[in-house]
Amino acid sequence: MPQLIADRAVLRMTSELGQVMAAACARELAGERVLHLERGEPDFGTPPHIVEALSTAARAGETHYPDARGTIQLREALVEKLTRENGIACHPDDVVVTAGGTHALFLAFQGLLSGGEEVLVLSPHWMAIPKLVGFAHGASYRTLPAYLELGAESITPADFAARLRDALRPGTRGIYVNTPNNPTGVVLSWTQLEAITQVAIERDLWVISDEAYEHLLFDGAKHVSLASLPGMPERTLSVFTFSKSYAMTGWRVGYVVSPPALRPVMGPLLSFYTTHGVFPSVQSAALAALRGPQDAVETMRRAYQERRDLLISGLEGQSAIRIPRPLGAFYAFADVSGALAARNSEALWALVHDWLSLGVAVLPGIAFGPEYVDRVRLSLATRREDITEAARRLQTQFAGAAPRGSR
Ligand SMILES: Cc1ncc(COP(=O)(O)O)c(C=O)c1O
């Protein structure tokens, strides 16, 4: 029997999201009402002018093989956006339009990692990262806890840089950074990012900067793109997507900006031989998203912020669930140690199933890194009524309750 790609341990790992969704679905089939706080998908429709642009483009015949790097019109518009909003100066030849941010990350890891090399993943991290790295043959990843302490400012940038230096190994080729962060909602500051860049420059590392949630910021938080810092354009691959900002998850369109040294790799090789580019009409719709009115982005941002506030105020007055206030993305990474009998994955799964029996679906923290055995992720990408009701059910359960198993 030949060795299959799926035999690699990391690719065989089951998905926590799949498990929770299956359990939630079984309950719904049995007639129960489940509040879905486990999914990371905007519940809004794509703004109508973007849908219209797709239809117009398809009717006009934009249905043939695209330039695998993306249409020049879209790449030029992206260069303008990157310069204006992100402070990233780049050339259209260094921008590749991809089938969503996931594909952009796949290309980045394929382009950078060889056998025996590893990427250091700041954690907690988006759950797809281990597998996306695992597809790069012989490459591996290690996690380094970062966002909770950086978010709480309980570690200084200098101490964080020292932690980063200590974590590097001879085979470490790059660092994966995600701000605003899924699942914590932490938004890294310029000084915190600068600490990462110092180490990257010193040790000649690549940085993969995942900026999927760049527009989802609360309380006036500012997003800083890593590639806008001195010395970083030549070593950063910046990943963006239309999925979250414009509620375009199903359209599969995103982009990656990489240094000129990677020009022969990203578009002509990796994009050409994986998807051969993105449906041209979708690219015209993405152009309409970029150039058209941005009020829908702001409406959705406000809605997520309002839901965050509803969740936090709905859980006030109990100590079993504590939520560090997210400043971006659309998740809360709750500390549930006060509701756990033990700090291990079995106890955490038991809690997730208990909450499911209350009709509240969430993801266990271990989906985002093995060390998060006392956390759960609650998504704000669901109707405000459902957030309020979920908070009410949890509040009823935990008001005045002692930790699980202590009675
Ligand atoms: C941190 C992060 N990066 C990238 C993505 C990729 O999104 P998409 O492939 O829809 O663009 C996601 C999706 O949830 C994400 O959470």
Give the residue among 219, 210, 216 at the shortest CA–CA distance from 238: 210
How confident is the model over 304-327, as pLDDT tens digits? 999 999 999 999 999 999 999 999
* pLDDT tens, per residue, the chain with 407 residues: 778 888 888 888 778 889 999 999 999 999 999 999 999 889 999 999 999 999 999 999 999 999 999 999 999 999 999 999 999 999 999 999 999 999 999 999 999 999 999 999 999 999 999 999 999 999 999 999 999 999 999 999 999 999 999 999 999 999 999 999 999 999 999 999 999 999 999 999 999 999 999 999 999 999 999 999 999 999 999 999 999 999 999 999 999 999 999 999 999 999 999 999 999 999 999 999 999 999 999 999 999 999 999 999 999 999 999 999 999 999 999 999 999 989 999 999 999 999 999 999 999 999 999 999 999 999 999 999 999 999 999 999 988 654 444 43
User: What separation in Å is there between the alpha carbon of 395 and the centre of ligand 1?
Assistant: 31
The pLDDT of residue 405: 42
Angle between helix 280-291 and helix 48-59 axes, rounded to 10 deg: 140
CB 371 within 8 A of CB 145: yes
CA distances from 142 to 125, 171, 175 (A): 11, 11, 10
- Ligand 1 atom with minimal separation from the 41 CA: 14
Pocket test residue of 96, 214, 244 for ligand 1, highest count of atoms within 8 A of CB:
244
Q: Is the pTM of this model over 0.75?
A: yes
The pLDDT of residue 389: 97
CA angle 183, 186, 187 (to 5 degrees): 130
Q: Hey, is 141 helix, strand or coil? A: strand
Residue 14, token pair as written in the block? 């089951």
Strand partners, 36: 361
CA 237 to chain centre: 15
Strand-pair category, 95-98 with 254-257? antiparallel
User: Does ligand 1 come within 6 angstroms of the Cβ of 225?
Assistant: no
Beta-carbon contacts of 259 under 8 Å, excluding residues fewer than 6 positions away, are 94, 233, 234, 235, 236, 237
Residue 380, token pair as written in the block? 């704000």
Q: Hey, is 328 helix, strand or coil? A: strand
Residue 24: how many CA atoms within 13 Å on its side-chain side? Answer: 20
The pLDDT of residue 13: 77
The pLDDT of residue 102: 98
Look at ligand 1, atom 3, and give the residue with the nearest C-alpha. Answer: 212
User: Does ligand 1 come within 6 angstroms of the Cβ of 182?
Assistant: yes
Strand partners, 334: 376
User: Does ligand 1 come within 6 angstroms of the Cβ of 214?
Assistant: no
Residue 195, token pair as written in the block? 């600490």
Q: How many CB atoms lie within 10 A of CB 26?
A: 12
What CATH number does the domain located at 51-291 have?
Answer: 3.40.640.10
In the chain, domain spans: 5-43+295-397, 51-291
How confident is the model over 134-156, as pLDDT tens digits? 999 999 999 999 999 999 999 99
Pocket test residue of 210, 255, 331 for ligand 1, highest count of atoms within 8 A of CB:
210
CA distance 375 to 256: 31
CA distance 374 to 160: 23
What CATH number does the domain located at 5-43+295-397 have?
Answer: 3.90.1150.10
Strand partners, 97: 255
